[in-house]
Structure 1
Amino acid sequence: MTTAQVPASNRATDLGPGRPLDLPNIRLAPKVLLHDHLDGGLRPSTVLELARETGYGELPADDPDELAEWFRDAADSGSLERYLETFAHTVAVMQTPAALTRVARECVEDLAADGVVYAEVRYAPEQHLEQGLTLDEVVQAVLDGFAAGEREAAEAGRPIIVRCLVTAMRHAARSREIAELAVRFRDAGVAGFDIAGAEAGNPPTRHLDAFEFMRANNAPFTIHAGEAFGLPSIHEAIAFCGTDRLGHGVRVIDDIVLPPGADLTAESFTGAELGQVADIVRDKRIPLELCPSSNVQTGAVASMADHPFNVLARLRFRVTVNTDNRLMSDTTMSKEFLRLAEQFGYGWADFERFTVNAMKSAFIHFDERLALIDDVIKPGYAVLLG
């Protein structure tokens, strides 16, 4: 136990020095998003239109605003399992190439409009086969949508790079097949592999053959772990599976003993004691894909005030800010930044660090990461800092 290639003329360069940290200015700041689910970020209007086109009649509302409210309220259950039930509706309308391409294109447009300059968006191809598509056809349709979205965003003066992670469902038995899919499309826009779904009863070690295949092919992967199940999930993901990042990983806090009476909004946690799992996560700089609003909704933490984000950030874990599911959490990267600023008093320098953390942790080549850090992220925040 221890004690402890986007043009530089982008968004934030339009700001004057020392702007206040409010939502309009946060939207202009360059951001990097590593944990966002394609089927969790649809526009409510798109869900309704696709449902009409496909004949899907199970939606709980027929008005975009009412539907958005239903998704938010239904997801706000305090249970990961009940939270995941909301995806039945979005997945149901994403079963054709045209629907997948449209959803992917709009995803890129929405992220670019929010100031995101690099994103990795994940989805489970195995969930989009109900109308006869093959896994390869699903991936190609999504990649086509991402490419179209990137072109439109660039034309609108909001350039963005988007890569995808293909996800295997941890309760199913197709993870090796999905890992092979990730490697097959690695040079076409698929950046890596992931497993997701209910953690309890579905440990990551059930999918060792998929992770071994990824390592054998020098391909990166992340694992949803430490969201609902706690330290054992994190330990398995690191020690047995060899994950490159932790999807959420928020329960690593369970292996940290804080000084008595510690204030979670403090700027220092001198005297905090880290256990072996927390030590290895920090020592190896394993990125934590933290999703503050979602973590509250699923019951991973009790409230934003109880979120360990600040503890982990101040103890110099490699924390990153993410949305998880923008529709279900009624959120954006800008809203997540604002919520963290309001809760923990962060300033522009803090968000620059979190953004650089995320860019360092992206599943693209070093020179590409460095170019975005040096040419886009740091210049953007330099203007904001004044």
Structure 2
Amino acid sequence: MPKFLRTFATYVALAFGLCGIFIVLYVWGLPPFSATDLQRTEDAYIRGQVTTISPQLAGYVVEVPVQDYQHVKAGQTLIRIDDRIYVQQLEQAKATLQEAEVSLENADSNEETANAQVEQAKAEIASAKAALEIARLNLERTSKLHEKGFAATSLADEYRAAFDQAEASLAAQKAALIVAEQTVRTTKVNRKSLKAAVASAKAQVELAEIDLEHTRITAPRDGTLGSIGVHVGQYVTAGTTATYLVPNEIWVVANYKETQLANMRVGQPVTFTVDAQNNAAFSGHVERFSPATGSEFSVLKSDNSTGNFTKVAQRVPVRISIDSNQDHTEGLVPGMSVITEVNTAYKIADGTAAGVGSLSTPASGIKTQNLARR
């Protein structure tokens, strides 16, 4: 082969090799093709409020009117527990309440009667005082006549006895008044106790109604169910995991390296692709930053003061809101893997955006026209 052909083939191979290298660098976003304004991570997932649905009391399951992965509305019945025991407990509590209310009514009547007895005793005292005054006057007149010899001794003794009897009657009526007043006080104390018993009985009725209501487990909000973990005839206890409810509200949590956060701010636009949607692209905005790196929330924290140290870039969770009015968002569910890119070339025009650790108001409602190029 001529020498010039061998040289040409070498140049061609070298050119193809360089092209291949540049293609790889471009695809992977490595220098010189890296975009420093686009912070990208694959450590990102869709998140949502997955609620555990559990019974609050024990009993046998008598009805499960829903199925796995069914969409439900708030208040819709998910599971029903046998309520016969709780119905009878409610009836018993109502009977106890009725008995306590009757006792309180009797106490009211007794208090009225006691008050009437006090008034009667006061009237009797007034009458006894009047009788004592008459007896005193008769005794004084008779005593004067007896001293002058105009009245017999027996008559004087008779009036003396009448005076003593009136005096004793007054003392008896005063004692009766004290007894009547003590009866009123006792009745009032008993009435307070009976009112407390009525309040306790009402509370027992309300608790029984709550228990009866809890035999019917309902959806706390709109959402989609997970797998149903109970079936008809199964005995469940309080806290048994029956199913899970995933509300329609979702967001993205992207775990960015600390070296990527220097220019990242709340409100910056985000583009993310979803693996489960054939890498379909969606838009969102940076909503808020975690107050600490993920390692700080781990159960077992590493102690960097022991042994050899190797510096590892930590990751900070970043919450990203998903913009509304996008197609195919109904197919996004918590747990899906996504790839996010935050465009840090944008900044908030009024300069109020905060960086890592900010507790500012979520910026999901910030519009594109409030953003400006650096």
Structure with the higher helix share, 1 or 2: 1
Q: Tell me the TM-score normalised to structure 2 length.
A: 0.19
Structure with the higher strand share, 1 or 2: 2
Q: Tell me the TM-score normalised to structure 1 length.
A: 0.18
